[in-house]
Amino acid sequence: MNKVLFIGAGPGDPKLVTVKAREILESANVVLYTGSLVPREVLSWAPEGCLIESSEDMSYQEIFDFIEKHIEKSDVVRVHTGDPSIYSTIAKQIKFLNEKNIPYEVVPGVTAAFGAAASLGVEYTIPGVSQTLILSRIEGKTPNPESLENILACKHSSKVFYLSVSLLDDLYNTAKKFGYSDDTPCWVVEKATWPEQRVIKGTLSNIHEMVREAGIKRTALILFGDYLYQEEKEESHLYNVPSGK
């Protein structure tokens, strides 16, 4: 029976796509991708004659109709940016597939937070500084059941905010209420791992103005917290072995 294959296209660099995802694309007959942030090179792996369409302007119902139309004759490859488990809306799509008894498979990809960390040489878990990673978004038009106050209350955590670069003022105002200093590191990474990636390294007090001057308005991550100093406050037990043993 044919199935829907959700694959993660990664954050931008096509070389970060998994071997399995590439093999699926290379044998695809029908591809539905999420929009302009899926690299064109990734789509070019599909064979000649493959139907390739964007869902950027589709409603959920139109996506469901597309799947039902093509699943009778072929697998449908559903290409999402980053990793399908993070900010991808696959939960609603999978619910539909389950209701229709349509099989599916999810192939993971590299999410932007990990692509950015790799390109910057940043570790999120620094001994004595942070052993907790929070991936979230600042509430704007889209509600967030977890308040920014609760997220920032976890002061000894490494925070990465998606889809929030237009809300840096909210981050500043709330962080100040929780006692974060003006010089707390705050970096913005635009289009992580793409050739045109830009990195703005600032602090809580100046990052908003730096981002405004750079003209960054979307497709960017906010990295926030003392973990960006990348200095251990205690030694890791992993390699702390007495000499001679």
Exposure b/e, 186-209, CB count within 10 A at least 16 = b? bbbbbbbbbeebebbebbbbebbe
Q: Span 39-53, mean pLDDT?
A: 97
Going 217 to 223 to 225 to 228, the CA torsion angle's sign is: negative
- pLDDT reading at 238 higher than 90: no
Q: What are phi and psi of 31, to 5 degrees?
A: -130, 130
Average pLDDT, the chain: 95
Q: Span 145-156, mean pLDDT?
A: 95
Residue 59 structure tokens: 């409603």
Residue 233 — very low, low, confident or very high, per pLDDT cuts 50/70/90?
confident
Query: What does DSSP assign to residue 228?
Result: G
Residue 22, helix vs strand vs coil: helix
Q: Would you tell me how many other CB atoms lie within 10 Å of the CB of residue 64?
A: 18
At residue 173, the pLDDT reads 97
pLDDT in tens, 61-88: 999 999 999 999 999 999 999 999 999 9
Cβ atoms of 156 and 202 within 8 Å: the answer is no
- pLDDT reading at 241 higher than 90: no
Rounded to the nearest 5 percent, the helix, strand and coil shares of the chain are 30, 20, 50
Q: Span 181-204, mean pLDDT?
A: 98
Q: In which residue are the tokens 């007090």 written? A: 205
At residue 232, the pLDDT reads 86
Say yes or no: domain 4-107 is CATH 3.40.1010.10. Answer: yes
Identify which has the larger pLDDT, 245 or 44.
Answer: 44
- pLDDT reading at 245 higher than 70: no
**Angle subtended at Cα 43 by Cα 11 and Cα 217, rounded to the nearest 5 degrees:** 40
**What is the pTM assigned to this prediction?**
0.91
At residue 242, the pLDDT reads 59
Cβ atoms of 20 and 107 within 8 Å: the answer is yes
Q: Span 227-242, mean pLDDT?
A: 75
At residue 199, the pLDDT reads 98
Residue 140, helix vs strand vs coil: coil
Exposure b/e, 32-51, CB count within 10 A at least 16 = b? bbbeebbbeebbebbeeebe
Residue 87 structure tokens: 């900010």
Residue 231 — very low, low, confident or very high, per pLDDT cuts 50/70/90?
very high
- Domain 112-229, CATH: 3.30.950.10
Domain residue limits, the chain? 4-107, 112-229
Residue 105 — very low, low, confident or very high, per pLDDT cuts 50/70/90?
very high
First to last CA, the chain: 57
At residue 142, the pLDDT reads 84
